[in-house]
Amino acid sequence: MPQSLSRILIHTVYSTKGRLPFLRDPEFRNETHAYLAGCAKALDCLPVRIGGTEDHVHLLTTLSRTVTVADFVKETKRNTTLWVKEKTDHQHFSWQTGYGCFSVSESQLSVVARYADNQEEHHRKSTFQDEYRELLRLHGQSWEEKYVWD
């Protein structure tokens, strides 16, 4: 087969270091989400939906056939960190070290997109930590609590 094609959907989640509310301002949060979408596009990972709250983000994207998950996360974090520091006085801004990245079935794309869109409403009832634990459980991932949070 001479042509290489793929459509891999991923849901990536990571928080600000210490879950500090750097993204509290809704306008700045929207700008940050738009910047993250641009970072994904630059990696040939098409953004489907970017959402989140004051202390974490959800990126629903495709995964380019030429980029690893680790490089996708590293580059989106690195570029947005530099951008935030240039754009604001948040010179101590950073993302947590770890992340969660989960495969998404095409049949569940709209469900996950709505989930990313409705983060503020979702977090009126649930903390980021509880949400993240539930995502890990739903995807059959085991973890050690002491290594998940930084």
| Total tally of structural domains belonging to the chain | 1
Strands (E), 8-130: 9-15, 47-53, 56-62, 100-104
Look at residue 27 in the predicted model and tell me its pLDDT. Answer: 97
Within a domain: residue 88? yes
Look at residue 150 in the predicted model and tell me its pLDDT. Answer: 75
pLDDT of 1 higher than 70: no
Higher pLDDT, 55 or 3: 55
For residue range 62-115, what is the model confidence (pLDDT) as tens digits? Answer: 999 999 999 999 999 999 999 999 999 888 999 999 999 999 999 999 999 999
Look at residue 42 in the predicted model and tell me its pLDDT. Answer: 98
Contacts of 40 (CB under 8 A, 6+ apart): 46, 47, 50, 59, 61, 72, 76
Within a domain: residue 1? no
The residue range of the domain holding 55 is: 9-148
- What is the spatial distance between Cα 93 and Cα 81, in angstroms, rounded to a whole number? 7
Within a domain: residue 115? yes
- What is the spatial distance between Cα 1 and Cα 3, in angstroms, rounded to a whole number? 6
Within a domain: residue 2? no
Q: Are 63 and 41 in contact (CB under 8 A)?
A: no
Look at residue 149 in the predicted model and tell me its pLDDT. Answer: 82
- What is the spatial distance between Cα 26 and Cα 9, in angstroms, rounded to a whole number? 27
Look at residue 22 in the predicted model and tell me its pLDDT. Answer: 95
Within a domain: residue 36? yes
Within a domain: residue 130? yes
Paired residues of 49 in beta bridges: 60
Within a domain: residue 4? no
Look at residue 63 in the predicted model and tell me its pLDDT. Answer: 98
Q: What is the pTM for the complete model shown?
A: 0.94
- What is the spatial distance between Cα 56 and Cα 23, in angstroms, rounded to a whole number? 8
CATH assignment of the domain containing 127: 3.30.70.1290
For residue range 4-54, what is the model confidence (pLDDT) as tens digits? Answer: 889 999 999 999 999 999 999 999 999 999 999 999 999 999 999 999 999
Within a domain: residue 3? no
For residue range 113-139, what is the model confidence (pLDDT) as tens digits? Answer: 999 999 999 899 999 999 999 999 999
